[in-house]
Amino acid sequence: MKILKYSKLLVLVTGLTLISTSCDKNLLNVTNPNQQTAATFWKTSKDAVHATNAVYQTLQSDGAYGRFTDTYEDLRSDGTHAESPWTEFTHAGDFQTLPVSFQDNRVWRAYYIGVFRANQVLEHVPGIKMDSNLKKRLLAETHFLRGIFYFNLLKMYHNIPLVLHTSSDPSKFDVPQTSPDSVWMQIDKDFQAAIPDLPLKYSGDNVGRATKGAAEAYLGKSYLFQKKYQAAATEFKKVIDSGVYGLVANDRDNFDKKGENNKESIFEVQFSSTLGGSGTANGNGIWGTPQPNWGENNLRGNTYAPSGFGWADIEPTHTLENEFLQDSTINGNVDPRLPASLFYYYPGETVYGVPYKQAYPNSYKTAIFWRKYERDTPGGNESDVKNGIDNRLMRYADVLLMYAECLNDMGQTNSAYKYIDMVRSRANLPKLANTKPNMTQSQMMTQIAHTRFLEFCGEEHRYDDILRWGWLKDPQKLKWLQQRDPEFNGYKPGHEYLPIPQSALDANPKLHQNPGY
Amino acid sequence: MKTIIQKNLKYMVLLPLILWQTNVLAQQNIHGKVIDGKTSQALPGVNIVVKGTTNGTATDPNGNYSLSVSASNDTLIYSYIGYQSQTVPIMGRSEINVKLMSRALQGKQLVVIGYGTQQKRDLTGSISTVNSKQFKKNVTPSIGDALQGRVAGVSVQNSGTPGAAPYVKIRGPATFGNNQPLYVVDGVPVGGIQDFDLSDVKSIQVLKDASAAAIYGSRAANGVIIITTKQGQKGKVKVNYNGYYGSQSIVKRYDMLNSTQYQKFDDLILQNAGWSIPPANDPNSSNYVDPNKVNTNWQNAAFVPATIQKHDITISGGTKNSTYALSGSYFDQGGTLKGPGPSFNRYTGRINVDNTFGKFEVKSSAYYANWKKINLTGLHGASPIFDILHAIPIQPIYDPNNVGGYSGTDGQIEPTISLNVIGANNLLQSNTNVDRFLGSITAKYNFMSNLYYKMQYSYDNSFVKGFQFIPDYNLGFFYNNSNAKLDVNEDRYNTQIVQNTLHYKKNIGDNHIGLMVGYTQTVSNHNNLHGHAEGYTQPYFEVLNAGTQNKNTSGYQQKNTLRSFLGRLTYNYKDTYLVNGTLRRDGSSRFSPKHKYGIFPSISLGWRISNESFFNSISFLKKNVNDLKLRASYGKLGNQDIGDYAYTAFINNYAHYEFNGNMAQGDIQVSLANPNIQWETNISRDIGLDIGLLNDKVTLNIDYYNNLAENILVQVPIPPSTGSVSAPTINAASLLNKGLEFSADYKGSKGAFHYDVSGNLSTLHNKVLSLGQGNSAIYGNGTKTVVGGSIGEFYGYVTNGIFQNWDQVYNYATQNQAPNGGRNSVTAQTHTAPGDFKFKDLNGDGKITADGDRTFLGSPIPKFKYGFNANLSYKNWDMSIFFQGVYGNKILNRMRQLVQDEAGYGNYDTYVYNNHWTSQNHSNTVPRPVYGDPNNNGRNSNRWLEDGSYLQLKNLQIGYTIPHKISNKVGINNLRIYVQGQNVFTITKYSGYSPIISHVLTGVSRGGPSGTADGLFSRGVDVGSYPQPRTLSLGLTLGF
């Protein structure tokens, strides 16, 4: 009898549960408790600022300056080579990148992710009711960033789709490639649109955002690539005359943590080993959805780090080391940029605090590695893949040398001395004005190239220079490069650009592979 | 005292008399004939025993028998396979003639269908009942796994990893998402079928077509598997124990190089690329590794035998108004890889209690499972099985000088990426622990004998805890960690379901009508919590509190709801014309308000031809065919398993950046979404024949199905230039799955020899009809899916022999030839050279390109698959044999690609070592070895495709039942011992560990093959699938 009552009670309870749940008219209306929908966003100035910050994040991603933009740009130069077991690095060095290469794919994806974010800001922020100056500045920053994204895509892939609007309509996904000339026009337009509304400087928590000088320098660089020397010179001169920038006394301050955002820095990608989640380098470089554990560090540190302290996938060439040793300072010493840039053997040299000979007992005489952007902390190493040193994309030294180059290209070789010597003097090298006065235009060009090679080694500039100077298409220059770095033996016409990633071709039938692949 | 003696005295006097009498009566002979109750045919081989003894005989070919019995008040038991047994008291007779009734004709065999039961002979849909006695003979923890090869149209992909959930598919894929069928346990739809124990199962029904499954509407697109657990039976307490203990081992090996061979080959590979030989291979170097001192056979070191055991006990019984069944089980499977994992153990407990109180019936059921799985730990995403092959023999296993104690390689000494899998498996800890409770209470109220109302409430709660601890270790180049870290993940899932149904039955003359209507609702919640900490120092305390750096937590919540209205009408006229119609209307929270509801109808018809007079007028048919039924069905199934909140675009809050050393919050939309997302549907058509021959001694089932899956949600790979990190999901694809299914069963006996032989065979023809916007192809791992083809066809280049000289290199279509006709050993280091593969220039454009020269190379879908089972018994001996196999599929052997690509970095097999191209050995099949493989000879091509057909002796069991006379003496009702072998042997041409491929990989390995094994679109790609072990075990069943 007791059991009977118990069972009836159970039936009653179940019945009540049924009735209470079935009366719920809103049963099927479940909203996501985790995330804001896009429809409720884009309402406040806070939304505008946060969205613009998200555009900046693209720069940290693995395909951008987290690692692979650096590696592709550097590996194809004569200052860097790869003996990595990761064949995609050796293929990059040999100009043999395959369309199915997955880090190449990451680079392509990274910048288009950035373009998507930038396009959202440019579409939605104008409609937000907010402080108009702030709004203008955010839009200008975004134009600047989109300019960089397309600039990098263009110089790496050459034939690219130009996407300037967002759309969730699948019939609009397949955008064809645009002529490189129209992409250059768009890049110039973005940088031009950025200049008027950007401030010369920021303070406090805004330091690191795009400045007027950054947009001018990048616009100048874009003109330089297009061989518009006068227009480029004008922009560089604005930066020089702005009075905001100068060279730091110690070259090393440009490559470590403490010298970040210094007066020589015009624009740099901000990295941190501590900010964000505990994850390594933006989720270890996956291009997926940002996750709470994404850190703001880079994988470049580990990838370039010396053997035993990192992966040493990317190593400097002895050509680079030897070229540093061609010159001595006015005191007869080694160019200080050599020990600042490379680990190489000399008495007293240490690597992460370990005496060089002890670290490489069998190969200390010949082993050289990158020091630039490495932490080199005694007792440490890069195996935590949490390098947080900023990447200086645009330094004042670069503006000076590009300006010198423009002057020389316009036939004003004598005026170029001043600017190239500013950079040489910081390295305590004798002034060319004194040692090599009255150079011809081509002699000056040789000096500029030599100076740029050393000053910016491992800073993703050398291959840009080789490309825009047309050296790969000049048989003599190509042969010279092959002597300096046998990886150039792998060069084939067309391979000055990376292949369009196979996944992009597969997804978009309107795309064509680059010639030569 | 006196009385006792007197009583005993009486027996002492009587005893000789009784003995004498028995002797006299033993002379008594019984004879007679046994015939079929319907056809009056004589039945040969019918077993006749005297109840409680082993005294017995069998009928002769004319159905006659004779038997000596000891007492005229004994009882005889007549039994015959396929017939109902009869118990007949002798009552002094000397002639006893018996009519046995065929079981099939009893009309009482009930089949559990959705929301009810149906007589088997009345089925009009395609429902397979799995013979539970047969599948229980598998040594496996998983119900899904035990279905492999048992049911026509059901395919099971399983891994040898202990505790891995198998992938079960019914009649081909109906969606690109979750292809698993819906499991319904005692009326409750459940997930995570690996939590349930096989020993609890009483019966399994597989609902394959829409007419059977549509009552589950939007959850049934992949078919439904209905599981009924054991209930108690009225009568005294019964105790049953079943247990086995065995050993498992991975038997097959790749033939890999030893240290001497490795060094020689490695030197050759490096020298061909212009590199010097590495210090480890250089006898003049101080870092030289002497092959006589270090020669690790990684496969033999890593694959070790392991134990497997299972014990379960069931106690059941009942009174007039109440029955109960209590059961418990323990399963433990050790890993066949050296180290703590992978391994799996599970405890389960179940209580089923039924009570009847007049018109009330209450069923309560509580189930609890706890399992722990030690996961297979890999590094950098590759399968450890893959890494075992890759590891070089000149690397020792142990190195006491390394942090962790295991050896690694040094990039300066040996250019390789060689993971010490034994080290990783021992050092890295990863496990999953699951606690699950499923409770259900069903109240049934019988208004009248033909009308009842039933309500079931169920609560299903799972707590899944994941634990991963990575200590400081040094496993050499690329594999080290100096920051010990802990990740703890906790997921809580709960689902509450209320199901109400009203059932009505009515017979009007020869018209039999059944009606069921119902309403159900389901609420599911999922809460996730994740904790992470780093900076652990020794001695390790593996809790979050003990971490010193980077501590953080994260979590999320998910909820979905489903509301359903359902109904079924069955109609049967004279047992000859059968109609079954169902309708379900589902509403789901997962769709936008515009698209929340979907309707899923079905209809099926049956015609029992064997009841027609014209049929019975043909004496041959009447004599031999006892049942012939034609059935046809049509219906629509749905799929709502599309993930929660998929129709909305969201703002991601983790797109942060840094300004001036501070974190700057970043929020933005990172993925495009599709607001118009709708139900996936599967239009199912089926025509079938059920045939019973010779009084159901032979039964045959034949089905033809033709299913059209439409509105399949697909993430069409969108151009990366959209910038969306994932493609929006759209209802765009459609697929056709059609095929034939046969199953046959033949049972009989000859004397004491009984046999039951069954087999099944099924085909699947899969065709992609649409892939959505632009129909752009879907690429998997070495596969491509296009409209007109089948899912996941292999795709790659076609080899065309090997370049034998420079002229051939330069006269052939361009692959990676050096410019300017460089014909020397220097260009050979980085470019195409003699010894490299020619790939076919399929589009004839003079160059070998990914666009123009890859083609379809075969399909991972078998032409047919089959299973064959025989149960044999002779007196106390029994034996069962179960074969299963597939025919006509291909496998992309990426494992062989790894050990034959001759590009450096790891170990190789002896085949390429012995047969590779050299200027002397002009091989036309194995290219030259060269570091970095500049011609990319290792690319995906027909070279790596192999025939995946196989025939496996999946199970062989031999048992012996101790005669009742003996076991009864120790109070045991039933005692059987058995030995069994599982995965005994496999006949195949496939060269890898096993042609049974499970997709285990979600990541990629650095230096390994790129791309990911992404399930459906990359089936049949062997990227290091954990091989199924061969298992030998000894078992015991015991009943009191």
Q: Does B269 touch chain A (CB under 8 A)?
A: no
**pLDDT 10s digits, B613-648:** 998 898 888 888 989 999 999 999 888 887 888 888
Size of interface A-B (CB pairs under 8 A): 319
In chain B, % helix, strand, coil (3-state, to 5) comes to 15, 45, 40
DSSP one-letter code for B138 = S
Name, of A426-440, B17-31, B541-555, the range with top average pLDDT.
A426-440
Given a cut of 90, whether residue B900 has pLDDT beyond it is yes
Nearest CB to B773: which of A102, A170, A261? A170
DSSP-derived secondary structure for B444-462:
EEEEETTEEEEEEEEEEEE
**pLDDT 10s digits, A71-99:** 999 999 999 999 887 888 989 999 988 87
Given a cut of 90, whether residue B864 has pLDDT beyond it is yes
Given a cut of 90, whether residue A292 has pLDDT beyond it is no
Distance CA B949, CA B947 (A): 6
Range name among B103-107, B288-292, B313-317, B939-943 with the lowest pLDDT average: B103-107
Query: Pairing between strand A369-370 and A391-395?
Result: unpaired
Residue A15 — pLDDT band, cuts 50, 70, 90?
Answer: low
CA distance B62 to chain A (A): 56
**A301 touches A310 (CB < 8 A):** yes
- Chain-chain contact of A506 with B672 (C-beta, under 8 angstroms): no
Given a cut of 60, whether residue B1007 has pLDDT beyond it is no
DSSP-derived secondary structure for B187-208:
TEEES-GGGS-GGGEEEEEEE-
Range name among A125-134, B317-326, B725-734, B932-941 with the lowest pLDDT average: B725-734
Residue A125 vs residues A139, A144, B652, B666: alpha-carbon distances, Å: 8, 15, 17, 14
- Chain-chain contact of A288 with B726 (C-beta, under 8 angstroms): yes
Q: Which percentage of chain B shows pLDDT scores above 90? A: 54
**pLDDT 10s digits, A344-371:** 999 999 999 999 999 998 888 899 999 9
Residue B968 — pLDDT band, cuts 50, 70, 90?
Answer: confident
Q: Does B462 touch chain A (CB under 8 A)?
A: no
DSSP-derived secondary structure for B656-692:
-EEETTEEE---B--S---TT---EEEEEEEEEEEEE
- Chain-chain contact of B721 with A175 (C-beta, under 8 angstroms): yes
Q: Which of A18, A58, A150 to mutate to test the interface with B (most CBs of B within 10 A)?
A: A18
Residue A11 — pLDDT band, cuts 50, 70, 90?
Answer: low
**Higher per-residue confidence, B95 vs B570:** B570
Nearest CB to B850: which of A91, A99, A121? A99
Average pLDDT over all residues of chain B:
87
Q: Which of A13, A25, A50, A211 to mutate to test the interface with B (most CBs of B within 10 A)?
A: A50
CA distance B596 to chain A (A): 8
Distance CA B62, CA B43 (A): 7
Q: Extract the tokens encoding B158.
A: 């399983």
Given a cut of 50, whether residue B24 has pLDDT beyond it is no
Res B999: pLDDT? 58
**pLDDT 10s digits, B352-384:** 999 998 888 999 999 999 999 998 877 776 788
- Chain-chain contact of A17 with B779 (C-beta, under 8 angstroms): no
DSSP one-letter code for B525 = E
**Higher per-residue confidence, B60 vs B703:** B703
Q: Does B481 touch chain A (CB under 8 A)?
A: yes
Nearest CB to B657: which of A35, A53, A161? A53
Q: Extract the tokens encoding B339.
A: 């180290």
Average pLDDT over all residues of chain A:
92
**B228 touches B202 (CB < 8 A):** yes
**B534 touches B472 (CB < 8 A):** no
User: Exposure of B239 by Cβ count < 10 A (0-12 exposed, 13-18 middle, 19+ buried)?
Assistant: middle
Cβ contacts of B403 within 8 Å, gap of 6 or more: B472, B473, B474, B480, B482
**pLDDT, average across residues A112-136:** 97
Q: Which residues between 670 and 729 in chain B have a beta carbon less than 8 angstroms from any beta carbon of chain A? A: 670-674, 716-726, 728
Given a cut of 60, whether residue B985 has pLDDT beyond it is yes
Distance CA B938, CA B944 (A): 9
What b-and-e string marks burial along A373-401, b requiring 16 or more CB atoms within 10 Å of the CB?
bbbbeeeebbbbbbbbbbbbbbbbbbbbb
In chain A, what residues touch B319 (CB-CB under 8 Å)?
Answer: none
Res A436: pLDDT? 96
Cα–Cα nearest to B159, from B949, B761, B998: B998
Res A8: pLDDT? 59
- Chain-chain contact of A22 with B519 (C-beta, under 8 angstroms): yes
Q: Does B974 touch chain A (CB under 8 A)?
A: no
- Report the chain A residue with the minimal C-alpha distance to residue B459: A14
Res B849: pLDDT? 87
Number of other residues whose CB lies within 10 A of the CB of residue B119: 14
**pLDDT, average across residues B733-738:** 94
Distance CA B108, CA A38 (A): 59
Given a cut of 50, whether residue B18 has pLDDT beyond it is no
Cβ contacts of B873 within 8 Å, gap of 6 or more: B753, B754, B755, B879
- Chain-chain contact of A87 with B903 (C-beta, under 8 angstroms): yes
Q: Which of B452, B642, B654 to mutate to test the interface with A (most CBs of A within 10 A)?
A: B654
Q: Does B1004 touch chain A (CB under 8 A)?
A: yes
Given a cut of 70, whether residue A378 has pLDDT beyond it is yes
In chain A, what residues touch B779 (CB-CB under 8 Å)?
Answer: 503, 506
Residue A247 — pLDDT band, cuts 50, 70, 90?
Answer: very high
In chain A, what residues touch B550 (CB-CB under 8 Å)?
Answer: 278
Q: What is the CB-side half-sphere exposure of residue A203 using CA atoms within 13 A?
A: 0
Q: Does B359 touch chain A (CB under 8 A)?
A: no
Complex ipTM above 0.90? Answer: yes
Question: What is the number of residues in chain A?
Answer: 517
Res B55: pLDDT? 81
Q: Which residues between 946 and 965 in chain B have a beta carbon less than 8 angstroms from any beta carbon of chain A? A: none
In chain B, what residues touch A32 (CB-CB under 8 Å)?
Answer: 644-645, 648, 650
Cα–Cα nearest to B319, from B349, B264, B357: B357
Number of other residues whose CB lies within 10 A of the CB of residue B21: 13
Residue A287 — pLDDT band, cuts 50, 70, 90?
Answer: low
Res A6: pLDDT? 56
pTM: 0.75
